[in-house]
Amino acid sequence: MAKFIKTGGKSVKALNTSSLPDIVFMILFFFMAVTTMRETEVMVTVRIPDATEGKVLEKKNLASFIYIGEPLEAFQALYGSEPKIQLNDSFKEIADIQDFIAQEREQLSEADKTKMLVVLKIDRDTKMGVVTDVKQALRRASALKIMYANSNVDKITTLY
Amino acid sequence: MADIAFLLLIFFLAATTMDSDTGLMRQLPAIPDPNVPQDVNKINDRNILEVKVNKDNLLLVEGQLTEFNQLREIAHDFILNENDEPNMPEKEVVNIPFFGNVAVTKAVISLQNDIGTKYGVYIAVQNELIAARAQLRDNLSRQEFGIPYEKLDEDRRGAIDDFFKVPISEAEPKRIGGDQ
């Protein structure tokens, strides 16, 4: 029966990891290519509405974002729970929109200034009063190209 | 080496987002210049489809209480006006490249909302109106060029847009001002 008795230790050969950096770099480059930098920390709750006809925003560098919604719980003690407007990293009022647009426009190159787009990310439960005020402010600032951000669905089922 | 790569990978995972933004593109009208006399040519009443959404999110189309899921069809029929009915939009013969002289609808959709309307409902209504128009454009494109509207080149797309112009206008809000 000697031929069934194992000779030597149970050593398993170590896995060859020399190609591991290549694989990880590959994943890294994949993520670098398909993702974009997070620019602002959103401080309001925004559940954007559903729609079927939304188009993809292609030139993100031409877009400025306006967020409207209830402040997050951490900010509610300070700002209350009524829908607020967020421009860049702080809560602002309607009157500040004109300055914000001027400032954003300044950052674009001369050729792109007319192509500027304002993306409105607004919570679906917001009342239109605020939205209309923002739209009027945008008209006064002559930022006329806007996009109502929505999530694309196949069919709108409920009207909440 | 792998450690450094992992470090960079984790950094990119944390600092970036993958979601692409989608949305409804709209063009706001410029603020009318008070020194320039306003266009007095009022649009003929039969050419306007009046859509109103009130504070209880109820839909009023041409003065009739309407269910939301009927809106797309109503807008579709209104723009098309197949039987040239007198209470539906007029048609005007214009010259459009690729089509020649064709009768084009003069329909306009006017969307009004209340201060208390929910934004989600407003977008849903606007979406239906845009969808009705997009459907007509797509049908025409398939019929005329045999390919969907999305795949057309710029010239052809422009021609189709001229055929079904149908501006969706947002009425001037009743209350203008900055204070809430």
pLDDT band, residue A149 (cuts 50/70/90): very high
Beta-carbon separation of A144 and B27 below 8 A: yes
How does pLDDT run across A13-67, given as a tens digit for each residue?
Answer: 888 888 888 888 898 888 888 877 777 788 899 998 988 988 888 888 888 999 9
CB contact B123 to A (< 8 Å): yes
**Within 10 A of A145 (CB to CB), how many other CB atoms are there?**
17
Q: Put residue A80 in one of left, alpha, beta given phi > 0 → left and psi -120 to 50 → alpha.
A: left
- In chain B, where are the structural domains located? 47-170
Please give the structure tokens belonging to residue B168.
Answer: 């969706």
Tell me how many residue pairs between chain A and chain B have CB atoms under 8 A apart: 173
Mutation target to probe the A interface, by most A beta carbons within 10 A, among B9, B31, B58, B119 is: B119
Closest in B31, B68, B119 to A159, CB measured: B68
pLDDT band, residue B5 (cuts 50/70/90): confident
CATH tag for A44-152 (out of 1.10.3720.10, 2.60.120.10, 3.40.640.10, 3.30.420.270) = 3.30.420.270
Looking at every residue in chain B, the average pLDDT score rounds to 84
CA–CA gap between residue B130 and residue B127 (Å, rounded) = 5
- What is the structure's pLDDT at B144? 86
How does pLDDT run across A49-62, given as a tens digit for each residue?
Answer: 988 988 888 888 88
Average pLDDT of span B120-142: 91
Average pLDDT of span A87-92: 88
Tally of CA atoms within 13 A in the half-sphere of A63 that contains its CB: 22
Say how many Å lie between the first and final Cα of chain A, rounded.
78
pLDDT at position A157 over 80 = no
How does pLDDT run across B60-115, given as a tens digit for each residue?
Answer: 898 889 888 888 999 999 988 888 888 888 888 888 888 888 888 888 898 988 88
pLDDT at position B169 over 90 = no
**Within 10 A of A112 (CB to CB), how many other CB atoms are there?**
13
pLDDT band, residue A160 (cuts 50/70/90): low
User: Taking CA atoms, what residue in A is nearest to B28?
Assistant: A144
Percentage of chain B beyond pLDDT 90 is: 16
- What is the structure's pLDDT at B178? 38
- Coil vs helix vs strand at A46: coil
pLDDT at position B33 over 80 = no
CB contact A151 to B (< 8 Å): yes
Beta-carbon separation of A17 and B9 below 8 A: no
User: Taking CA atoms, what residue in A is nearest to B14?
Assistant: A38
Average pLDDT of span B44-49: 85
- What is the structure's pLDDT at B41? 65
pLDDT at position B173 over 70 = no
Instruction: Provide ipTM, 2 decimals.
Output: 0.79
Which residues in chain B are contacts of A152 at CB distance < 8 A? 22
For residues A39 and A60, is the Cβ–Cβ distance under 8 A?
no
CB contact A9 to B (< 8 Å): no
Which residues in chain A are contacts of B28 at CB distance < 8 A? 135, 138-139, 144-146
- Rg (alpha carbons) of chain B, rounded to whole number: 22
- What are the Cα distances from residue A118, in Å, to A41, A130, B8, B47? 17, 16, 32, 31
Percentage of chain B beyond pLDDT 70 is: 92
How much helix, strand and coil, in percent to the nearest 5, is found in chain B? 40, 25, 40
- What is the structure's pLDDT at A17? 84
